Amino acid sequence: MSPDIRTVFPQQNLSADTVLCKIVIRHGFRSDSRPFVPLQSEIQLRFGGAVVDNVSYPWKDHVILNGLRTAVTLVEALDSDLPIVLIGHSMGGLVCRIANLALTRTADVQKEVFRSAWSSTKPKFVEAKQLAKRLRPRTVRGVATLATPNSATLTLGQTASALKPVHFLVRHGFPNKAASFADLTTSGLFRRFQDFESKTPTLSISGSSTSRFGTIASGAGIALGFASSLALPNDGVVEDRSVDLRQSVLPNEVYRFGGAPYTHHRTYRNCDQVTHSDIYDDAGARELLFDFIARIL
């Protein structure tokens, strides 16, 4: 266990394993709930008072919509104000961050959604407004993100000017035209909520300590290496510096932290040892996650 987690998140409840709570798990891009069933089962064994919400959602839709949907589900499904813990992998971490803002800064999120910028009659804007009307404040004890990008993963700010041709090819040649992919490859999602400040304790976990992206050769090797990183989006795309909020390429991403408790952990020494899915299956990452949950409940 990393020593700083004890100081960042002091023990709040010595019997957290029996505390009644709602723990939400949200998967990432091109995934569903099935890979997270083992994690769900272990959480239920560790925390007997927890009700775990691990469901598939339409990952192709906009991140903001899925975040608002998650928040509304929690508002309408809970009979009482049970403490909530949000856990998200990859893009699911962004969904959880939006849900956290919707639940803890409800009035501000509602005001943002009803701004003139959202005046379009397109279905996504209409649904966002309908969801915003149904929001109510809820208690969120903590947010845990695993391999979640903290700035747009393939923007020029992330890839640097030397890689503009690669960025262009990826943006215009990638076969998936999902709305969520647009959210992940532009700064729009991050900029929309960049001035929101969260007070929710947050643990960030990623899989390695070095950047594979930084070791790719120049010239054609860059494009080939970058493409391979896309196939397994760990260090080259997601796990680089942008995964740590305090070192993000866009310092103010989905929200500001202010004085909220926050820490970032890496669980692998070498990025070649990790794939994107290994992060939520890794024993070390799970122990950090469980320790975090026990400390915030």
CA–CA distance, 249 with 39 (Å, rounded to integer): 30
pLDDT in tens, the chain (297 residues): 455 788 899 887 767 788 899 999 999 988 999 999 999 999 999 999 999 999 999 999 999 999 999 999 999 987 677 899 999 998 999 999 999 999 999 999 999 888 867 777 788 889 999 999 999 999 999 999 998 877 665 544 444 434 445 445 555 545 456 888 888 877 778 778 777 888 999 998 886 654 444 444 434 444 434 433 433 334 444 454 557 777 665 555 677 777 789 888 877 666 556 566 678 888 888 999 999 999 999
Positive or negative torsion for Cα 206, 152, 94, 31 = negative
Indicate the class that CATH gives domain 4-151+193-211+240-296: alpha beta
Q: What pLDDT is stored for residue 206 in this prediction?
A: 81
pTM summary value = 0.84
Distances (CA, A) of 285 to 5, 109, 148, 233: 13, 31, 14, 18
CA–CA distance, 87 with 50 (Å, rounded to integer): 13
Q: What pLDDT is stored for residue 128 in this prediction?
A: 93
Look up residue 12 and give its amino acid.
Answer: Q
Distances (CA, A) of 242 to 90, 106, 152, 211: 12, 27, 8, 11
